[in-house]
Structure 1
Amino acid sequence: MLFTLKKVVGGLLQPLPLLLMLMGIGLALLWFSRWQRGGKAVISCAWLALLLLSVQPIADKLLLPLESHYPTWQASAAPVPYIVVLGGGYTYNPAWAPSANLIGNSLSRVTEGVRLYHANPGAKLIFTGAAAQGNPMTSAQTAALVAESLGIAREDIITLDTPRDTEEEAMGTAALIGQQPFLLVTSASHLPRAMVFFQAQGLHPIPAPANQLAITSPLNPWEKIFPSAFYLSHSERAWYETLGLLWQRLKGSETPPEAASH
């Protein structure tokens, strides 16, 4: 019940639902009350916020501090025995290409896990994630199918099918591999929060960010000035992870130390 409540409240607090609710309140004030100025002010502020959050310079400036916390993993001298790839959005339609079942951040996480697998001979790939409501396949199983379709041997894949969130993924990993070193693969923006959960279990994850979104390389001028749902999603990601970090601190977790270079 608490897990569902957390997801519902967190979803409603995302920029698009929140700003649409504010616009709805403003419209209600205009249509059904005498608070005409108040209604106009609420609608105007919500519209302006939606506009600003949908343009590239602002959206990516909000996201970049989260994503730049850890560098992309580079090959080291000693191979790592385990690579843990955290679950994300997915569905399962057997008629689709395997990779089409991984939604949003998930495909980038899996492909980065596959890259790291090839850079660490003998490593095992661990995919995490429970089943979405009503789905016959878990997030971990769906990711494993994609990895197999990319040439990874099934015997080198382990699935953790019960964790529903990052904290449970950390507990499941601790029970499976104990104190052995491992690469932790998740979205770059999610990695600071994930490191806290895994370190809280007494583990020693090596950060391996994937799915970087904040663009710092050159873009066409029009891509920077026109509002886009694509860049709004970057703002949503920044806001989601910021809320997650605040909730984590309220629960008593500490910020992880700076990662060593790898």
Structure 2
Amino acid sequence: MTTTNVRLLDKKDVRKVWFNWMWLNLSTQNMERMQAPALVRAFWTAKDKLYPNDPEQQKDLMTRHMEFFNTEPIWGGLTVGIALAIEEEKAIHPDDVPDELSTSIKNALMGPCAGLFDSLFQSTLIPIILAIGIGISAETGSIVGPLLYIALFWAIVPTVSWFLFYNSYKLGLNGVQQILTTGIKDRVISAANIVGLTVIGAVTASTCKINTGLNFTYGELSINVNDILTSIQPKMLVLIMAFVTYWLLAKKRVSVNKIMLIMLIISIVGYFTTILA
């Protein structure tokens, strides 16, 4: 199915739907329907344009979208854009578009979109801009890092969200199907993961400092363990700690809070014993 050139909604109407979804997507989340109430609220803003002076059709529109719905809420909103395009098509050609089409498409797309945008948004973008902000604050001790994180977040996230939502609405069903079935999403995720790991690794190497105060003296011979390790590999102790942290997280399934507690204990013991300097 492709949407026709006839439109009942203008860009302002689509923006209202997006705005309500963007700000309310998790506000009424519950275990029975998850994000469906927020979706109904978003579509409520367009009901009078889709079905003017027809309360029964408006009621049917709301009822259709009270079914369980759950996806990545920010960028995954493109699924809502697709559903909006289908609902508009149904309002124009009620006999050609079955009632269950928009909900079926939502159900089919919400899983892949959640997987794609959880990877890009939660697991890649947020760690990258957090790493940049933390790196600046750790290096300078200023408030610039948190402020930069806030600025980057609000510059990137709503912009991308609106771009995806509006263009998915314009493209209709075929556009998102092409993205999800041609392998584009796999290449994007792979590239984003490489960029994210590179940035986080670089920030870790440049901001983390672990030095040992161990010295061995034998007569006039003095051996500084830290100098030896540095000569072999700069930031070797940081690298070792990074691998240990990964091993605890990925292999032993130790929680982040427990790892932070372990690091705190090691730091305190290392300070008082001069093992760490």
TM-score bin (small chain): under 0.3
Structure number with higher helix proportion:
2
Q: Which has the higher contact order (CA 8 A, sep 6+)?
A: 1
TM-score by length of 2: 0.24
TM-score by length of 1: 0.25
Structure number with higher strand proportion:
1
